[in-house]
C-alpha cells in the first residue's frame, strides 16, 4: 500500500468541496457554460483514465468477459429516450429512479414526489444493461449510441452518509452485518460490548478489510464509483455532481428530451458534509489513509480534493 499522506483531524468542511478548477464561480450557469463544463469533465475523465487506469481495457474486450453482465447492473436503460443512467446509492438515486420510472412508463404517477420512496428500489422495476434479454451486441450498441450519465459526490461525504443512514438511522445493517463487524474489529470483549452499536471507525475497518485484505466486492452503498459505473470503460456524456444536483439534473433531463414538466424534485441538502470532519477525526491515521485509498480513483477521476493532509512518519 502506498504510504502517501493522511488527513489531519482538524480538516474543515470546506476541504471536502470539489476542486475549484472544476466549476469556477457560484450560481447557475448559462446553457452554453454548462455544456462547456460537461465537455471539460468528459475530457478530463477520459484523459485521467488513459493515465491512471490502464488496467481497464476497451469496451469490446470488456464485453467479451464472462462477468460483463454482472458489472452492468447499475446502468439503467431508457430505450424511448435513448439514455443510460448509472445509479450510485447515496447520490440522489431514489429520486432519479423515480424519474426513470416516469420516463420508462413504469408508473402512472406524473411527479417523482408521488412515488413512495421504496418502490423504485423494488427488484425488476427498472431495466438495466445486465438484463438477460440483452446480447453483447445489444449492450455495445446502447453504450455506443445512447446518452450516458451518472452523479457523484465527495467520496468521504458519501461514506459518512452511508454509515449514518445504514447504521445510525436504521437497524437493518446493524443486525445483518453488525455482529460480524463487532466480532472482528471491536477491541473490547464481553457480551455487552458486542451488543452495542457499530462505530464509524469499526465500519471503516470493515470496508478496508473487505477491499484490500479479503479483496471482496463491497456493498453498493459504499462501493467506489469506478466499480459501480465503470467510467474508464463506459464513455459518459455527462457527470452530474451532488453540489449542483438540481441544476445538473434538470439540464440532463432537457438533454435527453424528457417531458417538459418533468423536473428533479426540490430537496433540502443534508447536513452530512458539515459532519464529515468529525467522523474522520475518529479514525486512526493508518485507517484513514487506507480508507482514502479505497476511493483514490474516485477522488482523482472526478476532481475531488483529498482532505487536508500531513506527512506520515511511518507506513
Of 9-18, 139-148, 176-185, highest mean pLDDT: 139-148
Helix spans in 177-263 (H): 178-185, 191-194, 200-208, 225-228, 245-255
As a dihedral over the C-alpha atoms of residue 73, residue 94, residue 259, residue 247, rounded to 10 degrees, the angle is: -110
| Non-local CB neighbours of 172 within 8 Å, separated by 6+ positions | 166
User: pLDDT of 21-55, one tens digit each?
Assistant: 466 555 688 999 999 999 999 999 999 988 886 55
Q: Mind listing the pLDDT tens digit for each residue in 120-151?
A: 998 789 999 999 899 889 999 999 999 999 99
Mean pLDDT of the 253-268 span: 93
pLDDT in tens, 157-175: 999 999 999 999 877 888 8
Instruction: Specify the higher pLDDT residue, 315 or 195.
Output: 195
Q: What is the pTM of this model?
A: 0.86
| Model pLDDT, residue 27 | 67
pLDDT of residue 128: 96
- Other CB atoms within 10 Å distance of the CB of residue 255: 18
Helix (H) or strand (E) holding 159: helix 155-163
Amino acid at each position: 500500500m502506498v504510504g502517501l499522506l493522511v488527513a489531519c483531524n482538524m480538516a474543515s468542511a470546506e476541504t471536502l468541496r470539489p476542486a475549484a478548477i472544476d466549476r469556477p464561480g457560484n450560481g447557475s450557469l448559462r446553457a452554453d457554460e454548462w455544456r462547456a463544463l460537461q465537455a471539460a469533465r468528459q475530457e478530463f475523465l477520459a484523459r485521467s483514465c488513459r493515465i491512471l487506469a490502464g488496467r481497464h481495457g476497451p469496451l469490446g474486450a470488456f464485453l467479451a468477459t464472462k462477468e460483463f453482465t454482472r458489472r452492468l447492473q447499475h446502468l439503467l436503460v431508457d430505450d424511448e429516450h435513448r439514455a443510460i443512467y448509472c445509479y450510485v446509492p447515496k447520490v440522489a438515486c431514489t429520486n432519479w429512479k423515480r424519474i426513470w420510472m416516469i420516463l420508462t412508463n413504469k408508473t402512472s404517477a406524473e411527479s417523482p414526489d408521488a412515488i413512495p420512496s421504496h418502490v423504485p428500489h423494488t427488484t425488476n422495476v427498472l431495466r438495466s444493461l445486465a438484463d438477460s434479454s440483452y446480447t453483447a451486441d445489444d449492450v455495445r450498441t446502447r453504450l455506443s449510441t445512447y446518452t450516458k450519465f451518472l452523479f457523484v459526490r465527495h467520496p468521504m461525504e458519501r461514506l459518512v452518509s452511508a454509515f449514518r443512514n445504514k447504521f445510525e438511522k436504521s437497524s437493518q445493517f446493524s443486525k445483518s452485518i453488525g455482529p460480524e463487524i463487532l466480532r472482528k474489529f471491536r477491541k473490547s470483549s464481553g457480551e455487552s460490548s458486542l451488543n452495542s452499536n457499530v462505530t464509524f471507525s469499526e465500519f471503516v475497518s470493515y470496508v478496508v478489510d473487505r477491499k484490500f485484505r479479503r479483496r471482496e466486492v463491497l456493498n453498493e452503498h459504499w462501493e467506489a464509483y469506478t466499480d459501480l459505473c465503470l467510467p474508464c470503460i463506459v464513455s459518459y456524456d455527462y457527470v452530474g455532481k451532488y453540489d449542483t444536483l438540481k441544476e445538473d439534473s434538470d439540464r440532463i433531463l432537457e438533454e435527453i428530451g424528457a417531458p417538459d414538466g418533468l423536473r428533479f424534485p426540490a430537496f433540502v441538502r443534508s447536513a452530512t458534509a458539515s459532519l464529515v470532519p468529525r467522523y474522520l477525526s475518529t479514525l486512526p491515521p493508518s485507517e484513514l489513509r487506507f480508507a482514502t485509498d479505497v476511493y483514490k480513483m474516485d477522488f482523482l477521476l472526478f476532481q475531488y480534493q483529498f482532505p487536508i493532509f500531513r506527512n506520515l512518519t511511518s507506513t
